[in-house]
Every structure is written in C-alpha cells, then in structure tokens.
C-alpha cells in the first residue's frame, strides 16, 4: 500500500505500544541546547540514569550567547552559569558539544543541517519547538519539553501519539520579490495559528521542488507557528546534493546505500492524506504581520484590519487586543509604518542564502538614520561563509551591525533586546507580546529583503519598489 | 515509581480569557535563565500581571477573590508557541492543578500531561457558563471529573473532553512515561538495530 513519508518513518521508529495507547517512538537524533536541557540532566541524575546514546546526542549553545562578546565570563552571570552547566553536562555524559571555541557553534536548527547530522528518514527531537526545521530533509522532527528531554536522554525514546498528515501543495511560480518566508506566512495566515494542531504538514508542489534546502528550512521552521508540530518536505536530489560531503553525512559505499534508502522513504505516489490543501503560488505577495501572532499577517499592499469589519465577536476581540498592543491604526496601510529596529537573523532566516540575497541589493544603500539595524548570522560557519564572500562588509558599509552567531533578538534571553515600545522589522518567527525582550516591544515579521527595505527607508516598505525588483 | 492516579481535581477556579495565549506570555523568556524550575510560579504571566516598576496590573490572577485558585479556565489554542516546559512548570508551581480550555497547543498539552496536569477541553459556551458560575461565587469549588468527563461548579455541570491517551495515563497513574520507556529498552535496541543509521 502506498504510504506517506510520515507513516513510513513513524513505523520504522515505533518501538512498541504503551499501555495508554501511545507509541514508544525511537528518537534517532537528539539535539540539545542550554535553555531547556539543564533541568533534564538534573532529573537524570536524580533518577541515577545514564545517557542512553551519547553518540546520537549533539549540543550547541545559542539562546543566551551575547553576540557582541566572545570572552567569558559573560556580563550576565546567569548566562555564564547556563553555559557552564551545558559544558559540564556534555563532558560528564560524553556528548559532542559544538561550543563557541569549535568554530561550529550556532543556532541548533542551523548547526544540525550544516553538519549533516540532519538526514532524511530519521527522527529528530530537541527541546525547542522550531525543531520542525529539520523536516526540510524529510526527517520527522519535533519539539519536546524538558521532561521528554530526560526521556530521550535516558531511553532514546518518547511516548507519543501519531499525527494526521496534511499535504500542502504550492504550485505555479512565485512572483519576483516573494520568498519562502512569504510562503509560510501566507500558509499560516490561510490555515490559522492552530489549524495544524494534531497534524504533520507535508509541503509539496512545484514551488517546493524548486526550493533550495535553505528555503525549505525557512518554511518547515515555522510549521509550529501554524500549530503543526511537524513539517516536512520529501527528500530529493536537492536534499542529497546538500548533504553530500558534510561532516556527519554517510561516506563512500554507505553514501550510495543511504541515498537509495532516502529515495525510498519519500511519500509514495497515490498515498492517502488526511487532508490536502492547494495554494496557487502567484497569489502570494510579500507578507508582513501587523499583530501579536504569526497568523495576523497581510500582504504589503493591504491595510491593517479594522475590528469593525470582523465577522465574529471572537475575531473582533483578537484584532482589538492586537492593535492595542501594537499601537497601530485600523484601516491604515501597513506600508509606511515607521520602524525603530531592523533584525536580520534567527533559525528562520539566518543562513548564507538569506544574507547573500540581501547583500545583493544592499550594496550602495544606507540604513535610515535613527534605525538600529543588526545582522546576526545563525552559526559561526554561516558567519565565516559570509565573511569570505565580503557580505559582512556590505552589511557594515550599509550601517548594519554585523554580530556573532546566536539567537540574538529573536527572543529575550541575551543582551540584544528591544527597548520600550520600539517597533522592529524582523526576519524571525514570532511576534508574540514581549517576544523580543521588552514587555511592550513590537515585532513585524517579514522576509529578509523586506527587513532590508524597512531598514533603508525607515518604514515598512515594499522591497520590490525599494530595490526595483519586477 | 508509583504515580498518583488523577481521577478528579477539585478547587477554586479563575478565568483568564483570551485565545492563542502563548508560552512567552505564560512565562517570559528572561525568566528562563535558570538551571532549575524552582521559583518559576512567581513569574507566571508576569508581563501581563505586572508593570515595569513591579506594581500590579489588572489581571484575574491579581484579583484577591481568585487567589489560591487551582483550576485555570481559558480560551482557544492555549500554550501555543515555544515548547518550553517552563510554562506548565510555572502554572503548576503557581498552584494550578488542572486547565480547562477551548483548545490546547500540541506540545504544551503533552508537557502538561507529563507533569500530571489534566488539560480538558470544553466548548466556548460551556467555559462561559463555568466562568460565570465562578465569577458569581469565587469561593465555590469546581470539580474536574476525569472519569465522568465533566466539570461541575455550583448548579452548572458541563461535558469536557480529554484525549483518551492522556486520560488513561492520568487516571491510571502512568502520566510520567519514564518507567514504561525503560521497560521498553530491549525493544528500543532491537528497533535501532534495524535502522542503518543507528545500527553502527
Ligand atoms: S533563533 Fe529564535 S526561534 Fe530559533 S532557536 Fe533561537 S530563539 Fe528559538
């Protein structure tokens, strides 16, 4: 019987049925970082347990690292303590740690693929909801809580119920100036922030076939913002070409065998899905959020929703709440909204292709006076690649601060924070209240090039106009 | 490790209205700079409860009538966003023992169940009825009955839904799966042996 990738990977990793009907699922790859793992190691010690597969467990540090300071101790003693705790845990249990001194440190969802640890047909868990990113390779990858990190450390398994599978096909051609980020913001806007609850999203269609691995990662990254714990793309030649030669990718004869098995793991033609959604690529425009969840997005030409036009009381209340927080006017165009900060980075859009694309347009342009603009590569390797190509110079010449790898202003755990009610044009993935470090800070999510357009004009702008793309 | 069989929770309730309440709101990220979960209860909903100077904003959890509530009533897609277990930990350490909502985000639901916090779903109308009964008499006790699958407060009695696997785990005292997972280790090794990338 033809099967979806999700079911095949699930079945291959199903250890046994548990008493409550859930499955004990084998986790082939466990990624950990400093924020959600320390308590799990504490629980492990309390129970007197060991790490079951240290060689399948990989650590990096990303959330708390200051992007303007390398030397330790860090100015924030709590950040320093978390750093040391992770170091101690990795040393004690024999776990590979891509520490800052290795030149391989970075955001966990950038490091895994970069090292070739993320592979098709595998299961990947990490105490981080954006673990869905790794699904771009045709892996079943998902975020877990700290108690489940303990479970994976101790048993290399977790208890989980199966998900339904929704295939989201995007066919046709994207218009110029429309990026992977716009595709996922459009999907979330269309299906809702909880539309994916209980589902794994399988992204497919001509647009995904043409997408690079980095573009696929951008989309899979934000699956969870649409409520889907898992998002994936079937592996193909693009996937294999990306992985070939990476440090943890299979080598020689093993490579050929692996590629053969990866081909076989892709969803079979004619397999059944619990739901299918089709989207015409030409209907997707550069998209910007105006509210306090990633589903509250509009295309750059639209106006900010008016609660008076809401269809239901519920919708009206959520628009009211969002506009009150965002201090935006209903009915006003989003274009022209003054920004204070421009942030380019994160596990959504902090990869080489993101910086390269922006640098191509940024040459000879200047960040608008009064805008604080920072560019933060997602890993030390991305930083190095950019620096080799002179991309860092392009950003610095334009007036961006070029920083060291980390999560930076994506969330409020390191010194990069909004101040007061600053409005930030951001390439990250969450616009929740207070997400970027100030309890009243405001975030507009958009593609990297739209962030650059906002940075150089000082306003939310249409990158296609600012950079003459047509 | 014998776990409590959680068949019902009884206590005073508080209604925190709103949809899509995310885990950044439940526990702002800056309070996650810690290596234990101790003391997190204090920071529950911090930025919507407190002003910059630490004084209190208007929020149901600041209302003295609801102090000591152990059942949380709320809206749709509760706990969306980050997978941080700090969120259910903060809820539990603040004193809550159960949540009744219109709906829960996936990862949050799993995290709560693993901590022995039942997450029950009820319709919008029924949550409004429970909330109204609680508002009319904040001292009255609400019972979430996992066996009968209903919630009761005063004269109000409404049906609730709890996913079967979670309900089974809670009422039979196996909501923390670690014991069972350890028992399955031989099967885990066999399964790993069949997968080329793990067999090495
Ligand atoms: S970049 Fe942002 S979303 Fe990604 S792992 Fe870091 S904090 Fe999480």
Average pLDDT, chain A: 97
Check whether A200 has a pLDDT greater than 90: yes
d(CA A35, CA B36): 10
Q: Nearest CA to B195 among A265, A247, A153? A: A265
Check whether A405 has a pLDDT greater than 70: yes
How would residue B200 be classed by pLDDT, with cut points 50, 70 and 90?
low
What is the 8-class DSSP label of residue A123?
Answer: E
Contact predicate A444/A423, CB 8 Å: yes
Ligand 1 atom nearest residue A345's Cα: 1
d(CA A169, CA A203): 6
Check whether A469 has a pLDDT greater than 90: yes
Residue-level pLDDT at B1: 57
Pocket test for ligand 1, best of A82, A127, A224, A346 (most atoms within 8 A of CB): A346
The answer to whether the complex's ipTM is over 0.85 is yes
Contact predicate A338/A446, CB 8 Å: no
Average pLDDT, chain B: 96
Tokens encoding A420:
């007061």
Q: Nearest CA to A149 among A31, A59, A54, A235? A: A31
Q: Is A116 on the interface with B (CB under 8 A)?
A: no
Assign A360 to helix, strand or coil.
helix
Check whether B77 has a pLDDT greater than 90: yes
Q: What percent of chain A has pLDDT over 70?
A: 100
Residues forming a β-bridge with A58: A31, A96
User: What number is the average pLDDT over the span B107-125?
Assistant: 97
Ligand 1 atom nearest residue A346's Cα: 1
Residue-level pLDDT at B191: 97
Residue-level pLDDT at A336: 98
Q: Which of residues 405-464 of A touch B (CB under 8 A)?
A: 411-413, 430, 432-435, 437, 439
d(CA A106, CA A58): 12
pLDDT tens profile A206-220: 999 999 999 999 999
Tokens encoding B117:
């916090």
User: What number is the average pLDDT over the span A58-63?
Assistant: 98
pLDDT tens profile A213-269: 999 999 999 999 999 999 999 999 999 999 999 999 999 999 999 999 999 999 999
C-alpha of residue B3 to centroid of ligand 1, in Å: 34
Check whether A71 has a pLDDT greater than 70: yes
Q: What percent of chain A has pLDDT over 90?
A: 99
How would residue A470 be classed by pLDDT, with cut points 50, 70 and 90?
confident
pLDDT tens profile B130-187: 999 999 999 999 999 999 999 999 999 999 999 999 999 999 999 999 999 999 999 9
Check whether B31 has a pLDDT greater than 90: yes
Tokens encoding A362:
């940024």
Distance (Å) of CA A308 to CA A290, A315, A398, B92, B161: 16, 10, 42, 38, 34
Q: Which residues of A378-402 are buried (b: 16+ CB within 10 A; e: fewer)?
A: bbbbbbebbeeeebbebbeebbbeb
Residue-level pLDDT at A288: 98
What is the 8-class DSSP label of residue A149?
Answer: H
d(CA A197, CA A178): 27
C-alpha of residue A145 to centroid of ligand 1, in Å: 15
pLDDT tens profile A78-116: 999 999 999 999 999 999 999 999 999 999 999 999 999
Q: Nearest CA to A197 among B167, B105, B5, B126? A: B105
Please list every residue in chain A whose beta carbon sits closer than 8 Å to the beta carbon of residue B105.
194, 197, 227
d(CA A103, CA A115): 12
- Which residue puts its alpha carbon closest to atom 2 of ligand 1? A410
d(CA A274, CA B114): 27
Contact predicate A460/A339, CB 8 Å: yes
User: What number is the average pLDDT over the span A23-29?
Assistant: 98
Residue-level pLDDT at A36: 96
C-alpha of residue A131 to centroid of ligand 1, in Å: 10
Check whether B199 has a pLDDT greater than 90: no
Check whether B192 has a pLDDT greater than 60: yes
Contact predicate B63/B50, CB 8 Å: no
d(CA A263, CA A9): 13
Phi/psi-derived region of residue A284, left when phi > 0, alpha when psi is between -120 and 50, beta in every other case = beta
Query: Sign of dihedral through CA atoms B67, B72, B75, B79?
Result: positive
CB contact under 8 A, A155 and B181: yes
Instruction: Please tell me the number of Cα atoms within 13 Å of A217 on its side-chain side.
Output: 29
Instruction: Calculate the CA A389 to chain-centre distance.
Output: 24
């Amino acid at each position: 019987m033809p099967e979806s990738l999700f079911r095949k990977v699930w079945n291959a990793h199903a250890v046994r049925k548990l008493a409550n009907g859930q499955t004990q699922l084998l986790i082939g790859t466990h990624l950990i970082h400093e924020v959600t793992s320390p308590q799990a190691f504490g629980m492990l010690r309390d129970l007197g347990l060991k790490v079951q597969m240290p060689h399948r467990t990989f650590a990096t540090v990303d959330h708390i690292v200051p992007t303007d300071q390398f030397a330790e101790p860090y100015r924030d003693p709590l950040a320093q303590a978390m750093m040391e705790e992770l170091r101690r845990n990795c040393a004690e249990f024999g776990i590979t740690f891509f520490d800052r001194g290795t030149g391989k440190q970075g955001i966990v969802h950038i490091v895994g693929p970069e090292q070739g640890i993320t592979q098709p047909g595998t299961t990947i868990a990490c105490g981080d909801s954006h673990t869905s990113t790794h699904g771009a390779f045709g892996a079943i990858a998902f975020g877990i809580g700290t108690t489940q990190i303990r479970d994976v450390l101790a048993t290399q398994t977790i208890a989980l119920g199966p998900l339904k599978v929704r295939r989201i096909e995007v066919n046709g051609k994207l218009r110029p100036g429309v990026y992977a980020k716009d595709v996922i913001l459009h999907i979330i806007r269309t299906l809702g922030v909880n539309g994916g609850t209980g589902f794994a999203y399988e992204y497919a269609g001509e647009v995904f076939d043409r997408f690079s691995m980095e573009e696929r990662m951008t989309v899979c990254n934000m699956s969870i913002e649409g409520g889907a714990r898992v998002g994936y793309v079937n592996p193909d030649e693009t996937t294999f070409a990306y992985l070939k030669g990476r440090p943890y990718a299979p080598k020689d004869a093993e490579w050929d065998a692996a590629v053969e098995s990866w081909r076989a793991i892709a969803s079979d033609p004619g397999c059944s899905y619990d739901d299918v959604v089709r989207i015409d690529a030409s209907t997707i425009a550069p998209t910007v959020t105006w509210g306090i969840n990633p589903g509250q997005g509009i295309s750059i030409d639209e106006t900010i929703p008016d609660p008076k036009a809401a269809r239901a009381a519920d919708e009206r209340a959520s628009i009211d709440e969002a506009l009150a927080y965002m201090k935006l006017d209903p009915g006003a165009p989003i274009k022209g909204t003054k920004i204070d900060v421009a942030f380019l980075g994160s596990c959504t859009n902090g990869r080489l292709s993101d910086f390269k694309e922006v640098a191509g347009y940024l040459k000879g342009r200047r960040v608008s006076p009064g805008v604080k603009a920072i560019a933060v590569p997602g890993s030390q390797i991305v930083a190095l690649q950019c620096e080799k190509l002179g991309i860092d110079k392009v950003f610095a010449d334009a007036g961006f601060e070029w920083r060291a790898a980390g999560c930076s202003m994506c969330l409020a755990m390191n010194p990069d924070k909004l101040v007061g009610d600053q409005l930030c044009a951001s390439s990250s993935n969450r616009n929740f209240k207070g997400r970027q470090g100030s309890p009243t800070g405001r975030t507009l999510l958009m593609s990297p090039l739209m962030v650059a357009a906002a940075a150089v004009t000082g306003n939310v702008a249409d990158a296609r106009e600012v950079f003459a793309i047509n | 490790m014998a776990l409590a069989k959680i068949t019902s929770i009884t206590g005073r309730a508080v209604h925190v209205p709103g949809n899509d309440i995310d885990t950044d709101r439940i526990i702002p990220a800056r309070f996650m700079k810690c290596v234990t979960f101790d003391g997190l209860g204090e920071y529950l909903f911090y930025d919507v409860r407190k002003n910059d100077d630490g004084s209190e904003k208007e929020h149901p959890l600041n209302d003295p009538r609801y102090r000591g509530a152990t059942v949380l009533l709320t809206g749709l897609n509760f706990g969306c966003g980050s997978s941080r277990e700090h969120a259910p930990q903060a809820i539990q350490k603040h004193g809550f023992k159960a949540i009744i909502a219109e709906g829960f985000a996936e990862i949050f639901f799993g995290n709560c169940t693993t901590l022995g916090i039942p997450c029950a779903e009820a319709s919008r109308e029924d949550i409004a009825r429970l909330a109204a009964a609680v508002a009319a008499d904040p001292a009255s006790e609400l019972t979430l009955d996992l066996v009968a699958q209903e919630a009761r407060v005063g004269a109000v009695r409404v049906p609730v839904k709890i996913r079967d696997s979670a309900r089974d785990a809670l009422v039979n005292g196996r909501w923390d799966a670690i014991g069972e997972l350890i028992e399955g280790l031989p099967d885990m090794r066999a399964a790993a042996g069949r997968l080329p990338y793990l067999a090495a």
